[in-house]
Structure 1
């Protein structure tokens, strides 16, 4: 039976809609009595995945794992019941993981570390003059070539996972602090965007100190023989397109020791702009008042690419003629420096 991982990647590459159910009868735990495994796979337009339920032929106990979720999510929490982890159920657990999960990895790669740290160190200030989101991934320079993200799962404590994935905080039964669940990371989506022909980082900018690379959903900085991740699109941190087969990283500008990123949110016409201090890694999302443009009679779709985002005279500009939103980079960089001192 095909692993669900491949079905999910297929959906990211193609817009399909399908359902499939399989039933397998087998003595999985070698107790002389056949057990029943029922797996339901659903591939829709925006959501998909599957759930497998295994029934113990002797005790009639039922165990399940599911990875059903939104194709806008680059990560997914898979809950594991404490009963399933018991020694007597290890064969059932093994089979369910084989059906539901991709390969296991003992530690996260640097792109997932960016997501984990940013999940735990991000804020949404309501009164800040320029930012409606700030994040501090606490990423250090790595003395090696950047590793290509891939799809895998890791094991994590439920307390951290609940902080990382807010939508699921109140959806699960109470868990003890030492319990663990799985976090599936769909790293292959960095290279699964429509039109993508190669699985590699794409150079986008360079100056005397840094080279900037991107994927469909992430941005990396290189300095001499070292690198660090600066940004990853994640719906729980900074929003995302409705489908990750639509690339979210649209524009990347290297401005001295800062990177400015335009993030697309297809099919929504609105977008986000971030400015990130390369050395500290601290970043902020600009507070863009699209209603101001509408009040001036300007629709986003009517703007040229340059009018949607440009940098002139050390200022980020959105709009046309005198109907322009302006963000002074000198002041914004100063605000990022203040945030860095506070951390």
Structure 2
């Protein structure tokens, strides 16, 4: 019996092993800096079910000095943080930096457009709280009302330095202990969300607002202007492990507030996000809303709004949890 179990484990493990070995390496030998000595460019890329990326290195043929940019990340986030080693910013190494950027990065923009602005300002304003009665994450993204329909761009990157660099460095973690004063923030919106934006109708509205959603985004129309309200991303309020898994489920509009059911598979719990449309403040409930309450009846499929209360099944709890809406909205606005 033990041998059968061992054999089964080996068979089950093979797909993961195969998946981990999905990678490619390209090597190019060219005189990039025109010093009449050949240099070597090595581009390594690995594919996975939840994460992907790699690194691109260039070796100076004359000095043998090696420079590397790392572009790695998981599909739970639309952004990647690429640090630039300080020596690459020297004028003598400018040809190498250009080749590395052209190899590993999408096109450049001078400033973030509105969707990346939401992600960036949401990330930089994020507070992880431990003792709050309702919330465990609170952020205050800042974007402007836009006098035209919202779109998601093709992938691009911006250059980051100064205070923003220091804050993002703490978030992404400096795993390679390099000295640097600049970095690139690469943004990779997914194609299906771009396509969905072209043919949307409001899912809910009142006299003031029309609310729209894609698989990963929520935005609002007010009069003839638009604004992002929520983008599912692990660096802000959490996200599914893969872009192919839909995040945005039910949405309720109450006056100038939204309550969003955000799925985060493969977890069997989901997030409830509270959003103030005008201030753009967003907070995640600290509880674990779940489809399973460990009873024969099972849990609620999603939250309900009844008698001015938010009602949902909490993971492991037999009775539904009830929170007055007024308390939630006041708590959000106090931050």
Under TM normalisation by the shorter chain, which class is it?
0.7 to 0.9
Task: Give the aligned length.
Answer: 313
TM-superposition CA deviations, 1:154-194 (whole Å, max 9, x none): 00116423423545344353646xx21000111236628xx
Distance 1:259 1:50 in 2: 38
Contact 1:200-1:215 within 8 A present in 2 as well: no
Partner of 2:186: 184
Partner of 1:29: 33
Distance 2:72 2:136 in 1: 30
Q: TM-score, normalised by structure 2?
A: 0.84
Partner of 2:272: 273
Matches within 5 A, 1:130-209: 130-157=134-161, 159-164=163-168, 166-173=170-177, 175=179, 179-188=181-190, 191=193, 198=196, 200=198, 202=200, 203-209=202-208
TM-superposition CA deviations, 1:206-249 (whole Å, max 9, x none): 22111111222221111011111111122122111111221211
More off after superposition, 99-108 vs 80-89: 80-89
- Judged with a 3 Å threshold, the aligned counterparts in structure 2 of structure 1 residues 161 and 243 are, in CA distance, closer, same or farther, namely farther
Q: TM-score, normalised by structure 1?
A: 0.83
Distance 2:91 2:138 in 1: 44
- Judged with a 3 Å threshold, the aligned counterparts in structure 2 of structure 1 residues 187 and 144 are, in CA distance, closer, same or farther, namely same
Partner of 1:119: 123
TM-superposition CA deviations, 1:113-151 (whole Å, max 9, x none): 112212222223322222222211133323332232431
TM-superposition CA deviations, 1:255-300 (whole Å, max 9, x none): 2211111111111111110111111111221232559x74xx349x
Partner of 2:5: none
Query: Which of 326, 329, 335 does residue 333 from structure 1 map onto?
Result: 329
- Judged with a 3 Å threshold, the aligned counterparts in structure 2 of structure 1 residues 189 and 249 are, in CA distance, closer, same or farther, namely farther
SS in 2 for 1:238: coil
Distance 2:123 2:199 in 1: 24
Distance 1:298 1:111 in 2: 41
Distance 1:96 1:264 in 2: 37
- Judged with a 3 Å threshold, the aligned counterparts in structure 2 of structure 1 residues 124 and 36 are, in CA distance, closer, same or farther, namely closer
Partner of 1:53: 57
Partner of 1:235: 234
Structure 2: gaps of 5 or more residues: 1-18
